[in-house]
Amino acid sequence: MATDELWKLYKETKDNFYRQKLIEKYIQLVKIVAGRMYNYYGGNVEYEDLIGFGIFGLIDAIDKFDVNRDIKFETYAQIRIRGAIIDNLRKFDWIPRGLRKKVKEMENLISTVENKLGRSATIKEIAEELNVPESDVENILSEIATINVLSLEETLMNKGDIYSNLNDNDSPEKIFEHKELKLILKEAIEGLNEKEKTVVSLYYFDELTYKEIANILEVSESRISQLHSKAILSLKNSLFSKGIGK
């Protein structure tokens, strides 16, 4: 059965048979998103759990998708799938309290240094502030990399997913807030140093893996993880300064 016909039948009948066929057709999207996120959370959660969480997001996407709008379902669904995984990870609360404390301490330190400098701080400058070797800061950034990514995405989800598509019946206030958030995040990214901007761009917009980015920049994967972790903390501080995520 053609995809367009399958969508038409499901939206007209809401029959579970057609919904199941749509789930089967798009289950690969769940595997793609779950596999990508497993690169971060694999040491703390099973791949099958991510798949299970993602399926809830896929079902939600199928139920809410408007076939009459000029939006690709694959794009819309991946946002919902990722959101469902993050939401369930947050409920699962697998992050040790000690690790959360380290993230908060590093956030505060980076905020202090960057406020002094008036720009994004380098790992070397953070190390100098702490009066420790750069390798110590790099180790901390690697250790907290997983929670950094999750916490930034939680911040954006709580404020409203900037990658989601607004509905026709959204209020002017919500539309304005949506656009303002995108502008603030864009400005925050522009405030990163060049290496951090490159890593963020290649990872989020070009959807490359750490290994692929490492090959392009000719550094180790662990170095990419450190740069990404540092960039996320700087982005969060920039968002916090605008009243987002507090």
Model confidence over 118-134: pLDDT tens digits? 888 889 999 999 899 99
- Do 84 and 105 lie in one domain? The reply is no
Is 191 within the bounds of a domain? yes
Residue 214 CA to residue 7 CA, distance in Å, equals: 41
Look at phi and psi of residue 207 and say left if phi exceeds 0, alpha if psi is from -120 to 50, else beta: left
Q: For residue 117, is pLDDT > 80?
A: yes
Q: Is residue 126 a contact partner of residue 113, using CB atoms and an 8 Å limit?
A: yes
Instruction: For residue 81, give the nearest of 42, 26, 44 by alpha carbon.
Output: 26
Final residue before a domain boundary, out of 72, 92, 112: 92
Mean pLDDT of the chain: 81
Is 246 within the bounds of a domain? no
**Higher-confidence position of 181 and 163:** 181
Residue 158 CA to residue 148 CA, distance in Å, equals: 15
Whether this prediction's pTM lies above 0.75 is answered by no
Q: For residue 208, is pLDDT > 90?
A: no
Lowest mean pLDDT among 84-98, 154-168, 214-228: 154-168
Is 107 within the bounds of a domain? yes
The pLDDT of residue 139: 87
The pLDDT of residue 69: 81
